[in-house]
Chains A and B, each alone.
Chain A
C-alpha cells in the first residue's frame, strides 16, 4: 500500500495534446476517481500510472519513489480492465495464479513440459494455490475454479479480474471503467462490493469512469477531467455543491444542472432574464454571467428568484418525476425540475422558484464566482454543519 504522486504529467499523441501538466497527490488508502467525458484523458493518465504508456514530461512516484524507469509489473500495481482482459484459454484458477507464477517461478520453471522437472516448482505452486484460494474465498469464486472465462457471466468475470488484481497484494489498484460492461442492476451491486472491498483492503484505488454516479457513490475524492486538464479535485460533496466550472457543474449531478444566461447589474446584483436576484457578485471580470441551478433545487411557485417557463413533458422515475420546461424568454433553453410524484402537473406557463443560496454563478469563462446572498447567515450555518 502506498500513496501516489504525479508531477507535471504531459502527454501528446502527435499534435493532439491529451494531458496538460497534471499534478495529483493521492493519499495512501484513498479511493480516487478520475471522471470525465470520453476523450478527456482519464484513461491515458491511468495507463501512464500503470506504465503501459509513457509520459512525454513529468514523473510518477509510488510510495515516495519514482517509478518512471520501471516496467508495469515492477511498479507493483494491479489493473482491472474494462473488458477484464482475462486469459481466455486459462481456467479461473490459472488466471488468478498467473501474477504469482510469473514472479515466483523462473523462466525454466514456467516452460511447458520442462517445468515438470523442477521440484521447487511443486512446492511453490502449493503456496500459490493456498493464496489463490484465500483470495477466491473473499470474492466467492472458488466454486468455479476450473471453468474458463468464456463460461462465466459478466459479474463472475469481473470478480475473477479483481481476484487476479488482489492476489499480488499490490501497492495500488488501477481500474479502467471496470463496471461499464455490466448490466444496470449488476453495476449497482458491484459498486457496493467494490466500496466494501476498498474498506476491507484499505488499499489505494484509482478508478476511471465516465459515470458520475459511480464517481459520486464510491470515491473519497473525485478529479473531474476534461480536455486533458483536471477541472476540479475534491470530495463528492464539494464537487456537487461547489462546482468550479460550468463543465463540472454540467457533468456532475443527474439530471444535469440548468444554466441561464445572466449579467451583473449596476450595483453588483445579478440580473437574470430581466429580474434582479438578491445575489451580489463583486469580482466578475466581465458583466456576462451564467447562473446554474440544479433541477432538485427548483420548485413550482413564486418568490424573489424565479424563471418563467412553459411546460413540455414529464418523465416519471417512479419515486419522483423530472419535469421538462422551456424558458419563455428564450425557448431554446430547456429547464429541468425534479419534483415528487404527487405534485399536480402544471399547465401552460408557470414560474419556477429557487433559493439564492442554491445558485451557482460563473463568469464568462465558465469559472465559479463566490456570491453573497441575503441569506448568507443561514448558508454559513449549513456549511458549518457540513464541515463536521
Chain B
C-alpha cells in the first residue's frame, strides 16, 4: 500500500505549472481544431488549389497539364471580354451601392415613423429578399418585355415610346442595377431599422431643445452619425453582393446584347463551365477576389475613421 502511494506521489507532485501549461495548450488547440479544419477544407484549400490552377493550362477533363507561369494573367489583361466585364461590373456596382444604401435608408426612416402599419411595410419591402432571384429574374424579364411587358404597357399608356430595356446596350446595365437594388432594399432596410431603433430618444429631444428642429438638422446631427456603424456594414455587404452580380445576367441577358451586360462572374462561369478553360477561370476568379478584397479593405479603412461607435 505504502509502495503504491510512493509510486503515485512523484507524478502527482510533478511541477504543476508546466503540466498545467501543457494541458491548457492541448485543450486550446483541441477547441480551435474543428473550426480551423473546416476553414482549411472549405476556404483555404480551395483557394490554394485555385492559385495553383491559375499557373497551369489545365482544362476540365484533360489528362495532364503543364505550368505556364503568368501567361493566364497576361491573357486576361489583353482579353477585351474581360475588360468589358470589369467595366460593366464596376458600372453596376457604382449604381447599386449608392442606390441600395440610400434608398433603403430612406425607406427605413419613413417606415420607422409608422406605428401601426410598420410591420406591414416591413413585410412588403422584405418580400424580394425571401424570393429566389432566378424566379424573380424570369418575372422581371416578362415585366420588361418590349411589347407584352406590363412596364412597357404602362409607359405606352403614359405616352412614352416602347423601350427595350434588356436589348438596348445603354440601358441593360442600369436596368439590371434597378433589379439588384429592388432585391437588396428590403434586407438593408431591416439593418437600418435595427440601427434606428438603437438611437436613444433623448438625443432627439436634446437636439430639439438645442434648436435643431428642422428635419435635415435632426438627420445630420443625430440620425446619420448614430447610424454610422450600420451604414458602414450595409455599404460593405451591398458592395460585395453587387460585385457578385450573376443570376440576373445568366437568366435574363446571357451577357447580351452584344456583350453589353457581360460581368465578371458570368465571364468566369462561361470560361470555366462552358469552354472548360479551368485554369483561365481560376485566374479570373483570383482577379475577382482581389477586387473584392481591395475595395472592402479600402472602404473599411476610409469609413472606419469617420464612423463613431
From B214, which residue of chain A is reached at the shortest CB distance? A107
Residue of A whose beta carbon sits closest to that of B203: A85
B217 touches A85 (CB 8 A): no
Least Cβ–Cβ distance between B212 and chain A, in angstroms: 5
Does any Cβ of B come within 8 Å of A72's Cβ?
yes
Given known A-B contacts A87-B221, A89-B308, A112-B220, A73 and B226 have beta carbons under 8 A apart: no
Chain A positions 79 through 117: 1 when the CB is less than 8 Å from some CB of chain B, otherwise 0: 101110111111000000011001100010011100000
Known: A87-B225, A148-B308. A164 touches B205 (CB 8 A): no
Q: Are B211 and A103 in contact (CB under 8 A)?
A: yes
Given contacts A99-B210, A164-B210, contact A85 B202 (CB under 8 A): yes
User: Chain A contacts of B228 at CB under 8 A?
Assistant: 89
What size tier do the contact residues of chain B reach?
20 to 34
Q: Is the CB of A89 within 8 A of B220?
A: no
A262 within 8 A of B: no
Question: Is B208 at the interface (CB under 8 A from chain A)?
Answer: yes
Interface membership of chain B positions 284-309, coded 1 if the CB is closer than 8 angstroms to chain A and 0 otherwise: 00000000000000000000000010
Residues B209 and A73 in contact, CB atoms below 8 Å apart: yes
A51, B202: Cα distance in complex, Å: 13
Number of interface residues of A (CB under 8 A): 29
Interface: A293 (CB within 8 A): no
Q: Is the CB of A50 within 8 A of B225?
A: no
Q: Which residues of B contact A103 (CB under 8 A)?
A: 211
Instruction: Say whether B147 faces chain A, with CB atoms less than 8 Å apart.
Output: no
Return chain B residues, CB-CB under 8 Å to A71.
208, 213
Q: Are B308 and A98 in contact (CB under 8 A)?
A: no
Across the two chains, which residue of chain B brings its CB closest to A148? B308
B74 beta carbon closer than 8 Å to chain A:
no
Knowing A81-B206, A83-B200, A83-B202, say if A88 contacts B211 (CB, 8 Å). Answer: no
What is the CB-to-nearest-CB distance from B223 to chain A, in angstroms, rounded to a whole number? 11
A81 and B211 in contact (CB under 8 A), knowing A89-B228, A110-B217, A148-B308? no
State whether the Cβ of B222 lies closer than 8 Å to any Cβ in chain A: yes
Q: Which residue of B lies closest to A97 (CB)?
A: B210
Does B216 sit within 8 A of A, measured CB to CB?
yes
The answer to whether B213 touches A73, judged by C-beta atoms less than 8 angstroms apart, is yes
The contact of A81 among B205, B214, B216, B221, by CB within 8 Å, is B205
In contact, A85 and B213 (Cβ under 8 angstroms): no
A52 within 8 A of B: yes
Chain B residues, CB < 8 A from A110: 217, 220
List residues of B (55-72) whose CB comes within 8 Å of A's CBs: none
Determine how close the nearest CB of chain B comes to the CB of A117; give it in whole angstroms: 17
Known A83-B200, A102-B217, A112-B220; contact A89-B225, beta-carbon cutoff 8 A: yes
| CA of A23 to CA of B213, assembled, Å | 29
Interface of B is mostly: helix
Q: Which of A50, A89, A107 contacts B226 (CB 8 A)?
A: A89
- A110-B205 Cα distance, complex, nearest whole Å: 19
B211 touching A107 by the CB < 8 A rule? no
Cα–Cα distance between A98 and B220 once the two chains are bound (Å)? 12
Which residues of chain B are near A148, meaning CB under 8 Å? 308
A289 CB–B CB distance under 8 Å = no
Which residues of chain B come closer than 8 Å to A52, judged between CB atoms?
205, 208-209
Q: How far is the CA of A172 from the CA of B209 in the complex (A)?
A: 12
- Provide the residues of chain A in CB contact with B226, threshold 8 Å: 88-89
Which residues of the other chain, B, contact A135 by a CB distance below 8 angstroms? none
Are A79 and B209 also in contact (CB < 8 A) when A87-B203, A89-B228, A107-B214 are? Answer: yes
Q: How far is the CB of A204 from chain B (nearest CB, A)?
A: 16
B308 to chain A: which residues have CB within 8 Å? 88-89, 148
Chain B residues with CB below 8 A from A306, complex form: none
A81, B212: Cβ atoms under 8 Å? no
Tell me the smallest distance from the CB of B282 to a CB of chain A, in Å.
44
A window 39-72: CB within 8 A of B: 50-52, 71-72
Residues of B near A72 (CB, < 8 A) are 205, 208-209, 213
B209 partner residues in chain A, CB cutoff 8 A: 50-52, 72-73, 77-79, 99
A103 to B213, CA, bound (A): 11
- On whether A102 and B208 interact (CB within 8 A), knowing A87-B222, A87-B225, A110-B220, the answer reads no
Taking the closest CB of chain B, its distance from the CB of A177, in whole angstroms, is 12
Does B200 contact A102, Cβ atoms closer than 8 Å?
Answer: no
* Closest B residue, CB atoms, query A83: B202
- For A50, the chain B residues whose CB sits under 8 A away are 205, 209
Q: Is the CB of A73 within 8 A of B211?
A: yes
Find A99's partner among B202, B205, B211 (CB 8 Å cutoff): B211
Contact of B212 among A85, A102, A168 (CB under 8 A): A102
Complex: how many Å from CA A71 to CA B182?
39
Max count, chain A CB within 10 A of own CB: residue among B209, B210, B216: B209
Interface centre among A73, A83, A112 (most CB of B within 10 A): A73
Once the chains are docked, how many angstroms separate the CA of A165 from the CA of B126?
43
Nearest CB on A from B304, distance (A)? 14
Chain A residues lying within 8 Å of B217, measured Cβ to Cβ, are 102, 107, 110
Residues in A with CB closer than 8 Å to B208 are 51-52, 71-73
Residue of A nearest to B225 (CB): A89
How close is A232's CB to chain B, nearest CB, in angstroms? 29
Q: Closest Cβ of chain B: how far from A151's Cβ, in Å?
A: 12
Q: In the complex the two chains form, what is the Cα distance from A301 to B206 in whole Å?
A: 56
Q: How far is the CB of A150 from chain B (nearest CB, A)?
A: 8
A181 to nearest B CB, angstroms? 12
**Minimal beta-carbon separation of B114 from chain A (angstroms):** 19
Interface centre among A77, A81, A164 (most CB of B within 10 A): A81
* A-B residue pairs in contact (CB < 8 Å), sample of 21: A50-B209, A51-B208, A52-B205, A52-B209, A72-B205, A72-B209, A73-B213, A79-B205, A85-B206, A87-B203, A87-B225, A88-B308, A98-B210, A98-B212, A99-B210, A99-B211, A102-B212, A102-B217, A107-B214, A112-B220, A168-B210
Residues of A within 8 A of B (CB): 50-52, 71-73, 77-79, 81-83, 85-90, 98-99, 102-103, 107, 110-112, 148, 164, 168
Closest 5 CB pairs between A and B? A102-B211, A89-B308, A73-B211, A85-B206, A89-B225
Question: A81-B206, A107-B214 given. 9 additional CB < 8 A pairs?
Answer: A52-B208, A72-B208, A85-B203, A87-B207, A87-B222, A98-B221, A99-B209, A110-B217, A112-B220
